[in-house]
Amino acid sequence: MGIDREVTFLDVGGRHGEHRFLANNLKYSILEIDNTVVGNNIIFGDICNCPIIPNSSFDIVYSNNVFEHLKNPFSAAKESIRILKKNGLLICVVPFSARYHPVPIDCFRYTHEGLIALFENKNKIQRVFTGYDISGRRNNKIGGKIKGGLDCTVVDELGAWRENWKAIYIGKKC
């Protein structure tokens, strides 16, 4: 059985499309708050309040390492669900354990239960999956990409930051 329409994919905070490969053969768009980003299919706006995107616009709303940078992740969760089509998928990947990285701020870390509370709190979304990705757990993440070294960690005999876990939430809009 084939798909008779184009499947739409929104990469929230997608910068320059580093995760575009996840949306092969889909209509890929990026929601970006940084208006200096250049590229195709970019919507400039804030996921915490994004009236520029109409209700039920996307089949997939994806964010990877975005929600830890938001001062109001509950508003972002509500907006993500609002712009998701019925039966659409919401995919959120966030740090459970990661070094401090203020781009431009760094506010939160999440557990699977925190993500459930974030997305299922009075919202019309059904959990498909929650869990953790520990594939990068022992990677040596020193930082040093931010001016002034704000994201640098202390390096000791074991290296730098070594607990790099991601929490994952996948939900389907009812």
pLDDT for position 1:
45
- State the Cα–Cα distance between residues 84 and 15, nearest whole angstrom: 20
- What is this structure's pTM? 0.89
Question: Does residue 100 contact residue 138 with C-beta atoms inside 8 Å?
Answer: no
Per-residue pLDDT of the chain (174 residues; tens, 9 = 90+): 455 679 999 999 999 999 999 999 999 999 999 999 998 899 999 999 999 999 999 999 999 999 999 999 999 999 999 999 999 999 999 999 888 888 889 999 999 999 999 999 777 999 999 999 988 877 777 777 777 777 777 666 666 667 789 999 999 999
Among residues 110, 101, 162, 156, the alpha carbon closest in space to that of 137 is found at: 162
pLDDT for position 159:
62
Domains, the chain, with CATH or none: 8-139+166-173 (3.40.50.150)
- State the Cα–Cα distance between residues 40 and 45, nearest whole angstrom: 15
Phi and psi at 38, nearest 5°, equal: -115, 140
* Residues near 18 by beta carbon (within 8 Å), at least 6 away in sequence: none
